[in-house]
Structure 1
Amino acid sequence: MPQTTHLLNSDHDGLAQAAALLRSGALVAFPTETVYGLGGNARDAAAVAGIYAAKGRPSFNPLIVHVADLDAAELIAVFNDQARKIAAAFWPGPLTMVLPLRPASGIADLVTAGLETVAIRIPAHPVARALLREFGGAVAAPSANPSGKISPTTAAHVMGGLSGKIAGVVDGGACPVGVESTIISLAPLTLLREGGLVREDLTAVLGPLADGGDAQKPNAPGQLTSHYAPAAQVRLNVVTPRPDEIWIGFGDCAGSPLSLSPRGDLVEAATRLFSVLREADALQKPIAFAPIPEIGLGRAINDRLRRAAAPRD
């Protein structure tokens, strides 16, 4: 049955209301530096089940647990020296680590999809951190959109996809990074998902990273083959679009009605990716993307675009 979805301010009163909703077992979307997350109490099995129901998300796809600080993270996951080194270098920020789940963590089984590991991060967005402190616990939060669809980077995007299905949305403005967090696992050190923290920054601190991830048996979010998908069909690396396509440019693409970044800036392109994809999808025509270089944030952008363009079930 539809419920009223409240749009909440990001001031003290709004965050107090959002935290109270989370404590009651309700779902609240909130901004992170990457995208808006759909939050529920990670230790409340009914709340976590509600996340899957609201999103229409497959229950074999794990969720990321968000916490306010390292002390809270160590109550949930088992950290070794390497994990603490990574946390010191990159948290708070757009990095998720997949670590062994602490047996006494109290995290609901649905959060980990029955695995013995947990995906966890400390977000850098001041609104997210203030909400986590106000709530005082762990929040499971996938992206706040229907499963497989375009990720939300504004409160309006969340309302457009989940209004009537969740209790509230904290409006913290547009997300500054615009693509989801990078995900790594340890032992061996493996990159599971490209994201807002670029590979070069990771390897500068950690050394070489193997590539991993399994679309059939995900051990972290964002590994499904078809994901981040608009209603329209998507083609990639298009230099000459067809007459019926909306061409989304990058850099010097004369004639493209939409562009991720006219000046060829990958940071701007990441920030604008999901908003531009939504704008193009609203035109109800096939979508063609100009080539994006496979460097830095370009790898995360191309990862999202390949999944958006993948065949759908």
Structure 2
Amino acid sequence: MTGELLDVTGDGREDAVLRATEALRAGQLAVLPTDTAYGVAADAFNTRGTARIFGTRDQPRRTPLPVLVRSPKQLAGLTTVVPEAAERLVAAYWPGALTIVLFAEPNLRWDLGRNEGTVAVRMPLDDVALAVVRAVGPVAMTAASRCGETAPATAAAAREALGEAVEVYLDDGPRPAAAASTIVDLTRREPAVLRAGLLDADEVLAVARGELDPFAATMPPPDEDAVGPASTGASDVAAVPDEDGEDPLDDARPV
């Protein structure tokens, strides 16, 4: 059965998460909640699954897919080097509303699009998304909408946009789709903010440069009404397109 809409706010939560996990492991797609919008996900190492994201969204391969991880420790296996700037940013903002762009490990068997040797990574703070990532491993995710369209704030809106092209939709209530993560490129000589989002861009750069103690950084308060009683925060919002329809990660490549 495709296009299943499963409620994760009640007793069926564990079974629904298991169903999404099974779908991703089989090379299928699942829509997961985040604190900002709903995203369509695939196992990052299942090339059939990631190819389906591009096809389902009509997304050009020049716009690569971001990746969700369950722990900062996973960065070492996905990237060539974890610079001190990344360590400081992770200490300050993960899990949370920060996506960092690093040089990707070249020997990994994945296909995230034309990423020019880089990868955009985020650790989600949403407990539903985290449960799936813990079970599956790194997950590729972008907005659960057609490329260039507004990211959906509800699972129902995501299903209306993508229909039966996605096997499973996990419904955890509405999300504040206007929000977005802050994207920082650490592949350049100096850290650069590719998109200003929920975090203060100047503060993020100060942390990255070592000018501000990571533990002195501020985090935006969670929107409890939007996140819902069963969730604790954020997931991959780096995939939410800009208002003009351009995915900012298209520019997330080394200079």
Give TM class, smaller chain: 0.7 to 0.9
Q: Is the contact made by 1:34 and 1:196 (CA closer than 8 Å) also made in structure 2?
A: no
The 1-side partners of 2:42 and 2:184 are apart by: 23
2:16 matches 1:18:
no
1:67 — aligned with what? 69
Does the residue aligned with 1:16 lie in a helix, a strand or coil?
A: helix
2:56 — aligned with what? 54
Which residue of 193, 197, 200 maps to 1:198?
200
Partner AA of 2:5 in structure 1: L
The 1-side partners of 2:41 and 2:5 are apart by: 14
Residues 245-283 of structure 1 show CA distances to partners (whole Å, capped at 9, x for unaligned) of xxxxxxxxxxxxxxxxxxxxxx98xx7xxxxxxxxxxxx
Does the residue aligned with 2:90 lie in a helix, a strand or coil?
A: helix
TM-score, normalized by length of structure 2?
Answer: 0.76
The 2-side partners of 1:177 and 1:162 are apart by: 17
Q: Is the contact made by 2:144 and 2:158 (CA closer than 8 Å) also made in structure 1?
A: yes
**Bigger radius of gyration:** 1
2:133 — aligned with what? 132
1:88: Cα distance to partner?
0.9
The 1-side partners of 2:113 and 2:88 are apart by: 24
1:112: Cα distance to partner?
4.3
2:120 matches 1:119:
yes
Q: Is the contact made by 1:34 and 1:94 (CA closer than 8 Å) also made in structure 2?
A: no
Farther off after superposition, 195-204 or 162-171: 195-204
1:102 — aligned with what? 105
Farther off after superposition, 47-56 or 152-161: 152-161
Q: Is the contact made by 2:27 and 2:48 (CA closer than 8 Å) also made in structure 1?
A: yes
Q: Number of residue pairs matched?
A: 213
2:218 — aligned with what? none
Q: Is the contact made by 2:19 and 2:168 (CA closer than 8 Å) also made in structure 1?
A: no
Q: Is the contact made by 2:88 and 2:207 (CA closer than 8 Å) also made in structure 1?
A: no
The 2-side partners of 1:207 and 1:35 are apart by: 30
What is the root-mean-square deviation of aligned Cα atoms in Å? Answer: 2.5
1:284 — aligned with what? none
2:86 matches 1:83:
yes
1:219 — aligned with what? none
Does the residue aligned with 1:170 lie in a helix, a strand or coil?
A: strand
The 2-side partners of 1:130 and 1:193 are apart by: 27
- Write the mapping of 1:134-173 to structure 2, written as runs, cut at 5 A: 134-135=135-136, 137-173=137-173
Partner AA of 1:128 in structure 2: A
- Write the mapping of 1:205-220 to structure 2, written as runs, cut at 5 A: 205-206=207-208
The 2-side partners of 1:91 and 1:4 are apart by: 33
1:207: Cα distance to partner?
5.5
Partner AA of 1:130 in structure 2: A
Residue ranges of structure 2 left out of the alignment (5+ in a row): 211-221, 227-240, 247-255
The 2-side partners of 1:112 and 1:80 are apart by: 24
Partner AA of 1:172 in structure 2: D
2:6 matches 1:8:
yes
Partner AA of 1:83 in structure 2: A
Does the residue aligned with 1:20 lie in a helix, a strand or coil?
A: helix
The 1-side partners of 2:242 and 2:140 are apart by: 22
Distance verdict in 2 for CA 1:62–1:127, change over 3 Å: same
How many percent of aligned residue pairs carry the same amino acid?
32
1:175 — aligned with what? 175
Does the residue aligned with 1:124 lie in a helix, a strand or coil?
A: coil
Residues 223-257 of structure 1 show CA distances to partners (whole Å, capped at 9, x for unaligned) of xxxxxxxxxxxxxxxxxxxxxxxxxxxxxxxxxxx
1:200: Cα distance to partner?
4.3
The 2-side partners of 1:97 and 1:42 are apart by: 17
1:66: Cα distance to partner?
0.6
The 1-side partners of 2:183 and 2:32 are apart by: 20
Partner AA of 1:165 in structure 2: A
Residue ranges of structure 1 left out of the alignment (5+ in a row): 209-266, 272-302
Q: Is the contact made by 1:177 and 1:196 (CA closer than 8 Å) also made in structure 2?
A: no
Q: Is the contact made by 1:33 and 1:176 (CA closer than 8 Å) also made in structure 2?
A: yes
